[in-house]
Amino acid sequence: MSNASPGSLESVVIVGASSSLARAMAACFAAGDHALVLAGRDTAELEVIAQDLRVRYARPCRVLHFDALDYGSHPGFVAECTAALGAPPDGAVVCFGMLPVQEEAQEDFTVAGRCLDTNYTGAMSVLERFAGVFEARGSGFIAAVSSVAGDRGRKSNYHYGAAKAALNAFLGGLQNRLHARGVSVTTVKPGFLDTKMTWGLVLPALLVTDPERAAAIAVRGILKRRSIVYVPGYWRLIMLVIRHIPGVIFKRLSL
Amino acid sequence: MDEPCKAMALAGWGRYKPAACHVYRPERRDALLSLLDGGAPGPVLARGLGRSYGDAAVNRTGSVLDMTRLNRMRSFDPETGELECEPGVSLSDIIAVFQPRGWFPAVVPGTHFITVGGAIAHDVHGKNHHRDGSFSSFVDSIDLWTPALGVVACSPTENADIFWATVGGAGLTGVILSVRLRLRRVESAYVLADYERCANIDAVLEAFDTTDENYTYSVAWVDCLATADSLGRSVLMRGNPALPNEVPPGHAGKPLRTPRRLNATVPFDFPGFVLNPLSIRAFNETFYAMSRPAKGKDVDYEKYFFPLDRVLHWNRMYGKRGFVQYQATFPPEGRAGLRAMLERCSIARRASFLAVLKKFGEAGKGMLSHPMRGYTLTLDIANAPGLVPFLGELDRILLDHGGRLYLAKDTVAAPATIAAMYPRLEEFRAVLHRVDPESRLNSDLARRTGIGLPARETHDV
């Protein structure tokens, strides 16, 4: 059952699958009858997550090694996914990301550089490879977990925000390119999630979403081929307001 | 990467006197191990979903490890029903995944919002204890991280002393990394329940003694405000698993399907006056009156086993000051004590509407496991002035009749009280000497009741 070939199931590759949001998104895809490839650096941990998904959902779930910063490996990665699934995947979702301590990114170029290399270049590099395959085939879906932080630079996290803004622009362009070929591209923009990233931060409790709920919203949006999914939806309104604060006021705010 | 830490006030489900704690919530196995290997300062304690009532999952000195994200199921054998999982897996998770496939946890307490790790730490019991024993009867093995011996595989046959110290050991022997437990086959989502009214305590004990063996599940609700000839009047709710052809007509053909329902929630703390002797008496009268005797009534498992889980945050009904749950188990020869305790409660009018009475079967092998042959009475008591002396009176009655408290519920008992109730405490401490001689594991419960090793051997931060 759990090791059966994917057969007629739709399949999705989750890249950077060990975060709690990624795990929950993988669960939503599995519950929605998808075969899975979980990819990331910590394959031992991913294997535990894969075991869990197999027990809970009885869907095929394979683990592959992936390093966002090892760009040279990315072209071969798509082939590995195809080999694992027996066919090219129907969808690819990038979930990896790196939130640096803002002060460290300001002071240390290597930290700022790694932030951009991971959040933007790594995502761009691997998604272009999937895009090529999906474009040629004329079907598929692509998604990446970005952040509301990319909607406007703020002093508390603008290095992270800048990298995510680059990712947003990339995904927008990719969508524009692939739409005619029947390939959807979704930008997922979560607000505060109750994950390791935010554990211990002082945040307004009402604005923090647990990863299971966030994943359900994100995956629903991806499968409905939405362009941009705010998670949860009210962040669209919050960011609308934040984006429209005039610069003359914004520069004085502490956000 | 360093694991983030969160400062937060923790209490048990009774919300009695929260304490400031430093809490880590590892999401990966290696993160947990590095916290255990020194990343988490001071004495550490694993915590699950926080449903123990008192201070068992609180550790104000050192670190608390929230285990709820380490909730991965590892394997399931549909031949034997054996599930291997991480300790943060909840019973509600297990039920959600396996109940539709015809499997169910063999032992469930009154809530499914507990973790497997917590169920082992308190060796929880359910309405089938008289038949099947406690949770540990269905645990095949545990991988336990211990400070002195590293990761130890233990089971009833391998490192058995560590196993039986861990079962019911309130998290003091180590941190569970993995568990193998056996689920039980079920053919429907229903219990065929018989409801009987018993006019007083003698009648209900008589019913337990004479006819409990006809039922897999047995429990009674007791009106603690009733007095004199009605002292201990009860509604007995006993049942057996329903066969597929015994489910309600609307569910024929889909016996494992449960009715969909919405949960209620208590959105905020009730003010203190909401629960008072009058409102409780009114509730009790209504409940007794509405509990009509019935035979073979189909009740779905959620309603039968977990009635309170349908009201999220029900503990807020007791207001900001919280409450304690007091669970007292009397040996069979201690019936006079049970009667004395009910009399004391009916006079004091402190106990609230959730008094529950059950007859236990034989004790298991857990050194600090609570259940033992006899009768167990569970009371919810609001935190109001005079609470501690009142509990002291109840403790006295319990001690005089050879009974014992339950560590998962206990909130205020003194070391001598607990020591007198758990004759195998020294055996337990002997295991602690081997697995954790320097008390790297500790809890508010352990410090308060002295069940751990003597304090001079602990090293606080």
Pairing of strands A10-15, A34-40: parallel
Q: How many C-alpha atoms does B229 have within 13 Å on its Cβ side?
A: 1
- The pLDDT of residue A4: 44
Whether B4 and A52 lie within 8 Å, measured CB to CB: no
Q: How far apart are CA A80 and CA A85, in angstroms?
A: 9
Please report the pLDDT score of residue B458 as a whole number: 46
Cβ-count burial of B386 within 10 angstroms (0-12 exposed, 13-18 middle, 19+ buried)?
A: exposed
| Overall domain count for chain B | 1
Which residues in chain B are contacts of A52 at CB distance < 8 A?
72-74
Phi, psi of B218 (to 5 degrees): -150, 135
Task: Select from B450, B377, B455, B445 the least CA-distant residue to B58.
Answer: B445
Whether residue B291 lies inside any domain: the answer is yes
pLDDT at residue B353, as a whole number: 64
Instruction: Indicate if the pLDDT at residue A2 is higher than 80.
Output: no
The pLDDT value recorded for residue B258 is: 81
Rounded to 5 degrees, what angle do the CA atoms B68, B70, B71 make?
Answer: 80
Asked whether residue B28 is domain-assigned, the answer is: no
B334 falls within a domain: yes
Q: Is the peptide bond prior to A232 cis by the omega test (within 30 degrees of 0)? A: yes
Distance in angstroms (rounded) separating the CA atoms of residues B431 and B144: 13
Average the pLDDT over each of A167-176, B270-279, B447-456 and give the range with the smallest value.
Answer: B270-279
Q: What span, in angstroms and rounded, lies between the C-alpha atoms of A33 and A17?
A: 18
Decide if B287 contacts B354 (C-beta within 8 A).
Answer: no
Q: Residue B192's pLDDT is what?
A: 95
Do A56 and B75 count as a contact with CB atoms less than 8 A apart?
no
A123 token code pair: 């995502």
A234 is catalytic: no
Q: Over the stretch B138-162, which tens digit does the pLDDT of each residue have?
A: 999 999 999 999 999 999 999 999 9
Residues 6+ apart with CB under 8 A from B443: B45, B55, B56, B57, B58, B59, B170, B171, B172
The yes-or-no verdict on residue B71 having pLDDT over 60 is yes
* A44-58, A192-206, B123-137, B437-451: range with lowest mean pLDDT: A192-206
Name the CATH topology of A10-250: Rossmann fold (3.40.50)
Q: Provide DSSP, A177-245.
A: HHGGGTEEEEEEEE-EESSTTTTTS---GGGEE-HHHHHHHHHHHHHTT-SEEEESTHHHHHHHHHHHS
Q: Does any domain span residue B243?
A: yes
Is-contact B143 B151, C-beta < 8 A?
yes
Confidence check: pLDDT of A111 > 60:
yes
pLDDT at B120 over 50: yes
**Which residues contact residue A186 at a Cβ distance below 8 angstroms, ignoring those fewer than 6 apart?**
A141, A142, A143, A144, A171, A221, A222, A225, A226, A227, A228, A229
Q: How far apart are CA A98 and CA A118, in angstroms?
A: 7
Burial class (CB in 10 A: 0-12, 13-18, 19+), B203: middle
Which of B109, B126, B106 has the alpha carbon at shortest distance from B13? B109
List CB contacts (< 8 A) between A48 and chain B: 29, 72, 74, 86
Q: How many CB atoms lie within 10 A of CB B210?
A: 9
The Cα of A125 is separated from the nearest Cα of chain B by a number of Å equal to 25
Query: What's the CATH number where B404 sits?
Result: 3.40.462
pLDDT at residue B460 greater than cutoff 70: no
Is residue B302 within 8 A of residue B258, CB to CB? The reply is: yes
**Of B100-104, B157-161, B300-304, B427-431, where does mean pLDDT reach its minimum?**
B300-304
With 80 as the cut, is the pLDDT of residue B278 above it? Answer: no
Asked if residue B63 is part of any domain, the answer here is no
Q: Are B323 and B315 in contact (CB under 8 A)?
A: yes
| pLDDT greater than 90 at residue B350 | no
Specify the range with the lowest mean pLDDT, choosing from A5-14, A109-118, B167-176, B311-320: A5-14
Q: Minimal CA–CA distance to B222: which of B355, B329, B360, B348?
A: B355
Asked if B5's CB is within 8 angstroms of A18's CB, the reply is: no
Quote the mean pLDDT of chain B.
92
Please give the single-letter amino acid code of residue B113. Answer: F
- Neighboring chain B residues of A42 at a CB cutoff of 8 Å: 28, 30
- Lookup: tokens for B59: 């550790």
More confident call, A205 vs B182 = B182
Find the closest chain A residue to B78 by CA distance.
A55
**Inter-chain CB proximity A20 and B27 less than 8 Å:** yes
pLDDT > 70 fraction of chain A, expressed in percent and rounded? 97
* Residue at B131 is within a domain: no
Whole-angstrom Cα distance, residue B199 to residue B443? 42
In a domain, B361, yes or no: yes
Flag the least confident range among B34-38, B191-195, B230-234, B292-296: B292-296
Q: Which among B25, B29, B76 is the nearest to A199, CB-wise?
A: B25
Contacts of A199 in chain B (CB under 8 A): 4-6, 25
The mean pLDDT value for A52-61 works out to: 97
Lowest mean pLDDT among A51-65, B94-108, B166-180, B246-260: B246-260
Q: Is the pLDDT of residue B289 over 80?
A: no
Q: Residue B220 belongs to what domain range? A: 190-410
Is pLDDT above 60 for A14?
Answer: yes
Phi-psi category of B296—alpha, beta or left, where left has phi over 0 and alpha has psi -120 to 50?
left
- DSSP character string of B365-403: S-TT----SEEEEEEEEE--TTHHHHHHHHHHHHHHTT-
A103-128 exposure pattern, b = at least 16 Cβ within 10 A, e = fewer: eebeeeeebbebbbbbbbbbbbbbbe
The burial of B33, by beta-carbon neighbours within 10 Å (0-12 exposed, 13-18 middle, 19 or more buried), is given as middle
Report helix angle B201-211 to B335-348, nearest 10: 140
Q: What is the ipTM of this complex?
A: 0.91
With beta carbons less than 8 A apart as the criterion, state whether B285 and B230 touch: no
- Cβ contact, residue pair B6, A51, below 8 Å: no
